[in-house]
Structure 1
């Protein structure tokens, strides 16, 4: 089973469309244009913050070796959780079954493929639960009008927003 991939680029994001020969699925993936730049900036910021924290811990606190190592590790973990890669969103339409919506927000310290099960959030919406797919407009803070894509799900209290990377 071969798949065909096409890419559409915009100023703020790039859209990748992938489908197989038998057309059983179509996958739309949105990656922000600034993905690489923001990842590098967050990685450098992570290094700087951890360097400052380690220097401060070494100079100001006189801790035993194992406590100093544990404190440095804790600071590294906390800063790694806050300084993340931008979100990659995808929607896979599976013919006769439904739609899978996936968001991936990776860590800057390692490639996404290494930790994918932990950073990827997927929701599957069965075909019989989907009422409609809509393109709607909404207002944001600066009285701007934005257009967004959403799925109306039966008995859900909220819309399922697709590709929020593009909406804002």
Structure 2
């Protein structure tokens, strides 16, 4: 039985997120994960909001509930469940590149009021695999947002699709990290050795 060993595992903390890169020998497999900073703090704040809101709902004798006098418990329970499901954790995004096979993107958020084990069971990651033969190229593109601000984003051009497949659309890594991901993706996806275009 062979065991996969990673020659290089790096983790760097930025202002808004932490990027973690795992690289296998010969870069046959590269996994890049971006986790928003302050994840536990945001979970805690969301839980406090849910507790305060539901305490107010359960203890209040608001005129809103007088309309549903016979269904008060059902209405309050429904509002409790709705408030619990509204506040979600920040999204953790992962890009996995398999040498000459393709790329796999996944993202998971989960609910703030649930522990991690239940979140992993209920909120399974949304995973998309794009085979190598459908990937035309991986690019760093620029776009314009409000007030003519220019942003850079990573994307994969997929054959047969009108729109590009955005990579890390929720967390939007800095340009320096995008360049690193771009170089790793190009090295992993293509058999022939190509010069790294971005430094």
Residues 83 and 93 (structure 1 numbering): CA distance in 2 closer, same or farther, change over 3 Å? same
Match of 2:141 in 1: 136
More displaced stretch, 78-87 vs 19-28: 19-28
Q: TM-score if structure 2 supplies the norm length?
A: 0.73
Which residue does the alignment assign to 1:71? 75
Distance 1:167 1:89 in 2: 11
SS in 2 for 1:151: strand
Query: For this pair of structures, how many residues does the alignment match?
Result: 165
CA distance in 2, matches of 1:55, 1:166: 42
Task: Confirm or deny: 8 A CA contact 2:54 2:80 kept in the other structure.
Answer: yes
Contact 1:13 1:166 in 2 (8 A): no
User: How do residues 9-158 of structure 1 correspond to structure 2 at under 5 angstroms?
Assistant: 9-21=13-25, 23-56=27-60, 60=63, 61=65, 63=69, 67-116=71-120, 118-119=122-123, 120-158=125-163
Check conservation: 2:43, 2:113, Cα contact below 8 A: no
Q: CA RMSD in A?
A: 2.3
User: Which has the larger strand fraction?
Assistant: 1
TM-score using structure 1 length: 0.85
- Alpha-carbon distance in 2 for matches of 1:75, 1:93: 42
Change (3 A) 1:112 1:98: farther
Closer/same/farther in 2, CA of residues 25 and 135 from structure 1, 3 Å limit: same
Structure 1 stretch displaced more, 112-121 or 123-132: 112-121
Contact 2:103–2:130 at 8 Å: present in 1 too? yes
- Tell me, in whole angstroms, the C-alpha distance in 2 between the residues paired with 1:5 and 1:74: 45
Q: Structure 1 regions of 5+ residues with no counterpart? A: none
Cα shift at 1:31? 1.1
Separation in 1, partners of 2:42, 2:146: 23
